[in-house]
Amino acid sequence: MGMHDGHRERLRRRYLTAGLDALDDIQVLEFLLFFTIPRKDTNPIAHRLLEHFGGLASVLEATPEELQQVEGVTVLSAVLLSLFPAVAKRHLRERDNPGEILDTFSKCGYYLLPYFFGERDEVVYLLCLDGKLKVRNCQLMYRGSVNNVLISARRLAETALACGATYVVLAHNHTSGIALPSQDDETATRRIRDALSGVGIQLIDHIVVANDDFVSMAESGFAF
């Protein structure tokens, strides 16, 4: 067993006996890179990744193309690293019960948060609820600003009707990190609310997400 093999084995044992918290950020990246870069010291690559992106979270949220700009990062390594936020997002979403009853605005907000995990773009989701406020579906409707005219009220209505929804909650994120609804958000909400009302679908809230925070426009006094 060579020097690098011994180091790899020590990190594996530390993880298996004490968990990921026993490893610092450099060691976490080293450990992950073991799986795609065999028989090579991954410590320098881990250091370059952290220096380039500024932190572990930024490394894992980078695109494969961005990751490959760092010396030593292979295509397979870039794909593996970029998978982690996507897998974590799916894990968080699938822990939720599809038939869960969301009878408060706060419950709706916490239900929706995982859908925005790791997103670097603005995205728009539609949460569909039946007459008893039970979840029927939650679907990505658009990648881009909620204020964009490309967000079709007709498509929103078709999505809601297809899953038998009585009520819907619109949700989008602010990449600025501030969850406060803007004037443009209010204008878009009125447009979508009025259009959905015309086909018998009631928009009951519009939730604005930023990182792990959210603001309910209904709770903030917006008239639905």
Per-residue pLDDT for the chain (224 aa), expressed as one digit of tens each?
455 678 889 998 998 988 888 999 999 999 999 999 988 899 999 999 999 999 998 999 899 999 999 999 999 999 999 999 888 877 777 665 667 899 999 999 999 999 998 888 899 999 999 999 999 999 999 987 777 656 788 889 999 999 999 999 999 999 988 999 999 999 999 999 999 999 899 999 999 999 989 999 999 999 89
* Number of neighbouring beta carbons within 10 Å of residue 113: 18
8 Å CB contact between 62 and 42: no
DSSP single-letter state for residue 102: -
Residue 211 to residue 175: CA distance in whole angstroms: 8
Q: What is the helix (H) or strand (E) element at residue 213, kind and residue range?
A: strand 213-216
8 Å CB contact between 173 and 203: no
What is the predicted pLDDT for the residue at 1? 44
Q: What is the helix (H) or strand (E) element at residue 126, kind and residue range?
A: strand 123-129
What residues pair up with 42 in beta bridges, in sequence order? none
